[in-house]
Amino acid sequence: MAKTPKSNLYEDLKRQILTMELDPDADLDEASLSEKYGLSRTPVRDIFRRLAGEGYIDIRENRGARVIPMNHSTLRNFFLVAPMIYAAIGRLAVQNFKPTQLSDLKQTQERFRAASENMDVLAMVLENNRFHEIFGEMSGNVYLQPSLGRLLIDHARIGHTFFRPRNEDMKRRLQVAVGHHDSFIDALGAHDENAVVDLVFEHWELSRENMEMFIAPQGLKADAFLGGPATQLLEKSS
């Protein structure tokens, strides 16, 4: 299907939110987006309403649209309920998935694998997000899917640095995640509900550890700066 300015705006805003190109709580300028995408205000507002319904943005009375916030309360609730939602989605996915959805999942996994091999950060974030979105579609549950969608937004925003491996341990963790995805596909194909749920918790634990490293990194060592230009300057003046 050919891309339109309206669909481009929708996809671009989703991507920018998921990859933190747009910060949480950032205001969205309706006028500048209209000009940039060659759209009138009405279709821009349509996109805002659609994204608000999907949990990406917040529309405030007389104050315009903003990227959905992310604060300490958001994070606490995220870590509290994520494993429960993911496990319920996984169990229902085994019970309700369609062959076309499994095929879509396999294709998404191959794109994710290729992106991980090429260290394509943007593609990894988006394909990983899409992989888990498909699980929600497989579940066929109108109550849980919106909750999953909202979780995945913050999962991507908190964990996006996972896809920028800075050392060998992080690269190893990324390959473990790729392997988990393969195992999910195998377990779905075997209609093994217990295996999928076990994988959900294993995959969540890996993600949780990665996100905790992002949220609470090791502190900088003060002595790392000793001997630098500032220290030398102080020594000369004393």
**pLDDT tens for each residue of 181-196:** 999 999 999 999 999 9
Strand partners, 60: 64
Q: Which CATH number fits domain 72-215: 2.40.50.140, 3.40.50.10490, 3.50.50.60, 1.20.120.530?
A: 1.20.120.530
In this prediction, residue 199 carries a pLDDT of 97
Tell me the C-alpha distance between 145 and 131, whole Å: 14
Q: Model-level pTM greater than 0.95?
A: no
Domain with CATH 1.10.10.10 in the chain: 5-67
Q: With 60 as the cut, is the pLDDT of residue 68 above it?
A: yes
Look at phi and psi of residue 71 and say left if phi exceeds 0, alpha if psi is from -120 to 50, else beta. Answer: beta
Query: Is the confidence at residue 197, as pLDDT, over 80?
Result: yes
7-21 pLDDT, tens per residue? 999 999 999 999 999
> Which of 122-126, 175-179, 207-211 is least confident?
207-211
Are 154 and 74 in contact by the 8 Å Cβ rule? The answer is yes
**pLDDT the model gives residue 229:** 55
Look at residues 156, 128, 163 and name the one whose alpha carbon lies nearest to residue 70.
Answer: 156
| Residue 75: band (very low, low, confident or very high) from pLDDT cuts 50, 70, 90 | confident
- Distance CA(124)–CA(15), nearest Å, equals 12
**Could you give the percent of the chain with pLDDT greater than 70?**
87
The mean per-residue pLDDT over the stretch 58-64 comes to: 86
In the chain, residues under CATH classification 1.20.120.530 are 72-215
Q: Is the pLDDT of residue 31 over 90?
A: yes
pLDDT mean across residues, the chain: 89
b or e along 4-40 (b: 16 or more beta carbons within 10 Å of the residue's beta carbon)? eebeebbebbbbbbbbbebebebebebeebbeebebe
The architecture in CATH of the region 5-67 reads Orthogonal Bundle (1.10)
Give every CB contact of residue 233 below 8 A, 6+ residues apart in sequence.
none
pLDDT per position as a tens digit, 216-238: 666 766 655 555 555 554 555 55
pLDDT at 235: 54
